[in-house]
Structure 1
Amino acid sequence: MQLSHKRHTLIRSKINALIGKYLDGKATPEEEQLLTHWLDALAEDAPPATGQDPRSREQLRRSILKVIKQRAGHPATMYPIWKKMAAAAAVLLLVGIGSWWMMNHRPSQKIAWLELRTAIGEKKMLLLPDSSRIWLGANAVLKYPDHFTDTRQVQLVSGEAFFDIAPAPGQPFSVTTDSLQVQVLGTSFHIRAYPRQLLEIGVSTGKVSVNKGGQVMGILTANQLLQVNRNNYTFSQLSVSSPDINGWKQDKIVFDNMPVMDALLLLENYYPVKFHVKRAIDRQISGSLNMHLTIAQIINVLEDLTDHQLKITPAGAGNYTIDQ
């Protein structure tokens, strides 16, 4: 006997409700009997699953039954009503999750982790298997898998990168850097994680969550920036403009109230220079630099941004000494 589509849909809805009552221990004897009858009817009416042999179907039924019993907190003993519920669950879900089951039960392909590096002053763009794109900044290291599974994850070992993530509902994307994890679904954002500098996570579009050890440090939306101190992992959340977040992608180095010491360290990643500071500099600077400027021009701009309170002297072979 073939059930009409409307009647089939109604039965599914009622069975779902009765299964819920049964798992909560609230079903009456009459409802249990009705549930048994409907389960039998659905089992008889089930169409064969395309591309699955009887052994595969039975294995799927057992997997579904195991999940049902685990969620319900029932013991492992399989009573008749449970057998019928497992069969009905297989009938209701076989077509919908059959392809999922076959995919997740086939021999898994081993993931190979790849590494992308950039030199001082170099930038690269990476296209991931899911069509997401990553722009890697100067003197940076990124690790990524050759293919994704049910999750998408990459690691920014050091440096900075801008991420433009392709949406994939049910397949979250995350970036680990230092001991932090940045989780997204579909968005564009920037991470700066150079050694000896503040960690920065800035969002251009969408929303990201920044976590450490399972604890949420911040939820960021467009034009918000999270700065994290690597020494004690104290952090602050700021509002910034989009160019501040992805300026380097447009060949601009942006200083937004940045400590001079951090600015110097950042410049060392974009130019083959080393700054030797005689005394700690306790001040911030704001402004932007075009990456196409020569190092001599950069030095002049730095002096202007600090009101000429810094004395920057060439020391040979790309070295500069800085005094106040």
Structure 2
Amino acid sequence: MRQIVKRLIERYLEGQTAPAEEQSITDWLDTLAATEPYPGKTLSDKDKEHLRRQLLQAIRRKTGQQQKVRRMIWRRTGVAAAVVGLVSVGALLIRFLTAPQPPAYASLQTGLGEKKVMTLPDSTRIYLAPNSELLYPESYPQSRHIQLLRGEAFFEVTKNATQPFTVAVDSLQIEVLGTSFDVQAYQQLPDWRIAVNTGKVRVSRQQQVLGLLETGRQMHISRQDNAVTLSPANNNALEGWVKNRMVFEQTPLPEVLALLQEYYPVTFTQQYKGDLLISGSLDTKMRVEQIIAVLEELGNHDIQFHKKANNRYEVTNNH
């Protein structure tokens, strides 16, 4: 193919090409002229035509077409050298000057109380929690970069040492080789949470490493002041929602209520005075009335739920 292209350009410069061949060369020059010199700048049609003419003039100068007294053998030698240069320059233009196109992304999302499971081409599996959304590259597995836009997701990643698996959530970057881990990023919760079920992940923000997490460890990053807290992780809790259970371990009541609002079509207005911590598990297949009854029991009946209009509940102290 390279020889064919070289010979075609030689014939074009010597004026021996057929109309169809000449059109092919012209189209190729137009393609080079249409190349964006760097990302963020687009050439006008006038600039593209000017660049196309410059490319053609450069070829003619190198081949000696403007110096009629040169012998044909020297002109043909110049043509061959120019063709090599042209092919090389064209490749460099295409490779280095064309603005790189970011991979196209597809969306996976769930509604209120809905969960989804997706298996990627390399057998990596993603469990998406209710009211969540993520983006994954259509060119997967050439690019194994996931963006969690909101909600929560559990990842079972197939190991590939040459192609790291990364997850971006807000300003955080999570990198793994092969592991299973959970990322929680509901906007109503005060922290981002990354917890490792098996393996190891590295968590960074703007190229600054926040920490390495191994099996059974988790990291909370405060939305308010970006404070980082490391602690043991409950593996049963990490996989709980995947298996239709919400597991709480000394979880403040406001966080429990905020999470329930992602699973059920309800709104909680908290009038409760005090700092109540909830420990226990809830079956997400239960109706909301059943969930509330269990919560009152887990709270040692210190709390009471009062149903209002439009699926709204007011939470108060039980006096």
2: CA distance, partners of 1:139 / 1:309: 30
Please state how far the C-alpha of 1:52 moved relative to its aligned partner. 9.6
1:164 counterpart residue number: 156
1:132 counterpart residue number: 124
Matching of residue 209 in structure 1 with residue 220 in structure 2: no
Matches within 5 A, 1:217-296: 217-279=210-272, 281-296=274-289
Change (3 A) 1:281 1:120: farther
1:66 counterpart residue number: none
1:313 counterpart residue number: 306
Matching of residue 154 in structure 1 with residue 146 in structure 2: yes
Structure 1 length-normalised TM? 0.65
**Which digits, 9 at most, give the CA deviation of each residue in 1:180-216, with x for residues without a partner?**
1111011110111101212111111110011112122
2: CA distance, partners of 1:204 / 1:149: 23
2: CA distance, partners of 1:149 / 1:251: 29
Question: Is the Cα–Cα contact under 8 Å of residues 129 and 147 in structure 1 kept in the other structure?
Answer: no
Question: Is the Cα–Cα contact under 8 Å of residues 149 and 169 in structure 2 kept in the other structure?
Answer: yes
Percentage of identical aligned residues: 37
Question: Is the Cα–Cα contact under 8 Å of residues 251 and 291 in structure 1 kept in the other structure?
Answer: yes
Matches within 5 A, 1:26-65: none
Change (3 A) 1:131 1:147: farther
Please state how far the C-alpha of 1:270 moved relative to its aligned partner. 0.9
**Which digits, 9 at most, give the CA deviation of each residue in 1:98-138, with x for residues without a partner?**
xxxxxxx7x98862211111011110011223321100000
Question: Which secondary structure does the structure 1 equivalent of 2:239 belong to?
Answer: helix
Question: Is the Cα–Cα contact under 8 Å of residues 209 and 220 in structure 1 kept in the other structure?
Answer: yes
Question: Which secondary structure does the structure 1 equivalent of 2:262 belong to?
Answer: helix
2: CA distance, partners of 1:230 / 1:248: 23
2: CA distance, partners of 1:178 / 1:292: 30
- Higher deviation after alignment, 276-285 or 130-139: 276-285
1:68 counterpart residue number: none
1:120 counterpart residue number: 112
Change (3 A) 1:209 1:311: same
Question: Is the Cα–Cα contact under 8 Å of residues 260 and 281 in structure 1 kept in the other structure?
Answer: no
Please state how far the C-alpha of 1:224 moved relative to its aligned partner. 1.0
2:169 counterpart residue number: 177
2:316 counterpart residue number: 323
